[in-house]
Amino acid sequence: MKLFVLALLSALALLQGCSHPIEIVGDGDVLSASGERDCLLEDYAAGLENCSENVVLDDYQETYYAVARNGWTFHRWANYCVDETGNECAFDISADIVYQNWGEILPPLTAIFRPTTNTGFTAMLMGHSFFDPFATALPAHAQRAGFPDHSQSQLYSGSSSGAPQALWEDADKRNAIQAVLNNGDINLFGMTYHPDYPGIEGYREWVNYALQKNPDTRFFIGLPWLTFPADLDAKASLQDF
């Protein structure tokens, strides 16, 4: 009986393996050189196991190819092959390393595709009074510039409370912004700066969170003039800039 149980556990362990999911952002397919690990867009949308699990049991030797659908182009890989300039992503991992990750779900291999024609972004814009007027005017500028599908969400918080770190540390405001990001469709995220928060911690928190929800998010920082500009000497300020 004991031998039977051990054999059963061994068989179950082999079935478990190591999971390396494939994620598709936009419209395209991820094909494999072996033909055994293809993840088509329809498979990914349906949550099929060849995409959501992509189980590895032994030596992991595979090359993936990102192939865009009509009207789309391949942009980049995420999590792996981030320095690749083409559409290939190759893995050559020994069975020993695979066994060390037995039963684990690894970060997905993410292929990011973008439309060949950009008609507008879905934006999240947050900041203080030196940033908010520009954010408010952006939809009109986008329309005039030929981006009819631009849309945005906006959060205003005055003075230093509009700095990224301050917004992250304010639970209510953080939750409000995260609720927008959680939709997964924000692909343009704009922030600003305040000298009371000179570090990058707040930017890092927001960038990491946004990328978890949409790996193809673009970011920009609107750098304002210093506070109380009327009290500043123009020449000295220019020298310090």
Same domain, 126 and 223: yes
DSSP letter for 120, please.
Answer: -
Rounded CA separation 140/85 (Å) = 35
Degrees, nearest 5: CA angle 55-56-57: 115
Q: How many domains would you assign to the chain?
A: 2
Q: Of the candidates 94, 115, 136, which is a domain's last residue? A: 115
Same domain, 69 and 144: no
Tell me if 240 is assigned to some domain: no
Length of the chain in terms of residues written: 241
Rounded CA separation 188/146 (Å) = 17
Q: What is the pLDDT of residue 8?
A: 31
One digit per residue, the tens of pLDDT, for the chain of length 241 reads: 443 333 333 433 444 689 999 999 999 999 999 999 999 999 999 999 999 999 999 999 999 999 999 999 999 999 999 999 899 999 999 999 999 999 999 999 999 999 999 999 999 999 999 999 999 999 999 999 999 999 999 999 999 999 999 999 999 999 999 999 999 999 999 999 999 999 999 999 999 999 999 999 999 999 887 766 666 676 565 666 5
- Where helices occur in the chain by DSSP H, the ranges are 2-16, 41-46, 49-52, 95-100, 132-144, 164-169, 171-181, 201-213, 234-240
Q: Of the candidates 58, 83, 115, which is a domain's last residue? A: 115
In one letter, which amino acid is 122? Answer: T
CB atoms under 10 Å from CB of 60, counted, come to 17
Same domain, 185 and 202: yes
In one letter, which amino acid is 117? Answer: T
Do 125 and 138 contact (CB within 8 A), yes or no?
yes
Tell me if 8 is assigned to some domain: no
Rounded CA separation 111/24 (Å) = 5
CATH number of the domain enclosing 155: 3.40.50
Which residue do the tokens 């408010």 mark? 136
**What are the backbone dihedrals phi and psi of residue 204, each rounded to the nearest 5 degrees, phi first?**
-60, -45
Q: Of the candidates 97, 115, 133, which is a domain's last residue? A: 115
Same domain, 168 and 64: no
Same domain, 166 and 105: no
**CA separation (Å) from 196 to 171, 193, 207, 226?**
19, 9, 20, 11
Interior/surface letters 80-94, b for 16+ CB within 10 angstroms, e for the rest: bbeeeeebebebebe
